[in-house]
A = this chain, B = another copy of it.
Amino acid sequence: MVHTRTASTETSPREPAGEVLPTRPRRLSEVSRFDREADVVVVGLGGAGASAAIEARRAGASVLVLERGSEGGGSTAQSGGILYFGGGTPIQRACGFDDSVEEMFKYLLAASGPNPDEAKVRAYADGSLEHFAWFVEQGVEFKPTFYAKKTTEPPTDDCLLYSGNEDCWPFNLVARPAPRGHKPKTTGSAGGLIMKRLISSATSLGAEVIEDARAQTLIVDDGGRVVGVVARVLGEPLLVRARRGVILTAGGFIMNPRMIAQHAPKLLDVNIQIGNPGDDGAGILMGVGAGGGTICMGEGFVSMPFYPPSKLVNGIIVNEQGQRFVNEDAYHGRTGDFILRQSGGRAYLVVDNASYGRPISGMQLKAADETIAELEASLGLPSGSLTHTVDFYNEHAKAGVDPLFHKKRDYLAPLVEPPFAAIDLSIDKAVVPGFTMGGLDTLPTGEVLTPDGVVVPGLYAAGRTTAGLPRSAGGYSSGMSIGCATFFGRLAGKTAAQAG
């Protein structure tokens, strides 16, 4: 007979007695009392949650925010704080860049991968100038200067940068390039500053925040409408009624290894989880429990931040066949995604003395030699492979062209000055930051859809709890996450506040 006793069945998990599971919503009929009540209840006070709270208050709703941490901020507060704006912002214009809503739309559509959410892309491009003005109104300042070097995040207080693949092949064939990364005016990371302003704005407008409040599951009435949240505050239960709607803005699931393995196994190679401990997927699971569908769960950002210094982009990246496979000036998230696809996850950045610089991210040197042939041997690459690749590259770089991958002329210089070195960009040796992109399926308004495509009454979501606008590692730009979280967070707040 077939073997029925396996490791899994022996430890077959059963319903834990009395435990509150996020995917098991509480029935309204089982709730005897509510401790608190508000028109709109927001779960999570990161970029999406604070923006939702602001707009819900502005629309006249009472707002209660449940924040799991001892203070708000979420992953936005921990980030570089780059925001993706375009269509001709005052900063773009001051720096001499010509951008339009249509060019931004075309770029975002192409960058979203094979299944773009055109309605979200449309809304985001159309609303970008207004969204920029809204940030200024919240007290966030932007300096009208351009940071020209290739970097992950300006170390200065400069604002504007190319934060994605806008001026890189093949995206530069799709839409007229323009830099759209906008960093608020501060030296270094700006995420903390952004969240300080947004939280201050939300509370000034009268949104109430309960900290150390961990949402556990949603409360659902007999008709399937979401009407509240079961939470725990410092060990005590808190039952909260939401008269108009609950907005889930509780982050993604990069901190949940089980969900990563099940849904986005490519992210198992990530060794720096971008996020905060709350990014454990609880928001997504609560939404699923109330009937919400998830989409794009396999998508995620896998980065390979080998630059700055930007002169490293003059090097070439090769796989274990000694072949190039990506334009080295691509955004580091695109490069990371391509490296994942190479055999054994192996890749090396090959530089000469002129293009060498110590990578700020801490990537390690693998080998250094006086000739390319020696370097090829040191790396264990097939004899003749790297030498051909460098010869072919050099011959065309001299003429300022890259017929294989169309790297920009700015970074094309023959690799001829010894010594030659290889920096290890192999997935298991390099610094590999990443985060999840999949989540609840929502309309641009933040309304959550079932797997059948029907709205779940009373339920809204935004930020990384949803599959938002960015849904392709190969097309991601810095600023899309916070830009999207705040933009669609605002829409969710406004929509929930006006719900019947």
Contact = CB atoms under 8 A, between A and B. Distances in A.
A263 B297 contact: yes
A405 interface: yes
Contact of A443 (B9, B262, B343): B9
Interface stretch (A120-128, A189-197, A417-425): A120-128
B392 A262 contact: no
Interface in A428-456: 441, 443-445, 447, 449-455
Interface string A89-121: 000000000000000000000000111011110
Given A382-B404, A392-B388, A7 B285 contact: no
A1 B130 contact: yes
Interface in A318-343: 321, 323-325, 341, 343
Contact of A2 (B131, B259, B324): B131
A385 to B, nearest CB: 7
Contacts of A269: 114
B9 A445 contact: yes
A383 B395 CA distance: 12
- Of A295, A457, A491, chain B has the most CB atoms within 10 Å of the CB of A295
B263 A2 contact: no
A403 B388 contact: no
A2 B118 CA distance: 17
Copies in the complex: 2
Given A131-B2, A384-B392, A115 B452 contact: no
A32 interface: no
A268 interface: yes
Interface stretch (A11-19, A63-71, A202-210): A11-19
A114 B21 CA distance: 27
Given A115-B265, A385-B404, A14 B341 contact: no
A16 B454 contact: yes
Contacts of A23: 291, 293, 450-452
Interface in A236-272: 258-259, 261-266, 268-269
A26 to B, nearest CB: 13
A495 interface: yes
A384 B3 CA distance: 57
A445 B4 contact: yes
B453 A3 contact: no
A309 interface: no
A15 B263 contact: no
A4 to B, nearest CB: 6
A269 B294 CA distance: 22
Contacts of A351: none
B441 A262 contact: yes
Contact of A118 (B7, B12, B263, B494): B7
B115 A261 contact: yes
Nearest to A15: B454
A191 to B, nearest CB: 22
B295 A262 contact: yes
Contact of A22 (B127, B261, B341, B452): B452
A198 to B, nearest CB: 15
A77 B64 CA distance: 56
Nearest to A467: B262
A490 B2 contact: yes
Given A23-B451, A298-B298, 10 more contacts: A4-B445, A4-B494, A8-B443, A21-B454, A24-B450, A115-B268, A321-B405, A383-B403, A385-B392, A385-B403
7 contacts: A4-B444, A6-B445, A8-B117, A21-B454, A285-B451, A321-B323, A325-B325
Q: 4 nearest interchain CB pairs?
A: A298-B298, A8-B119, A382-B403, A114-B265
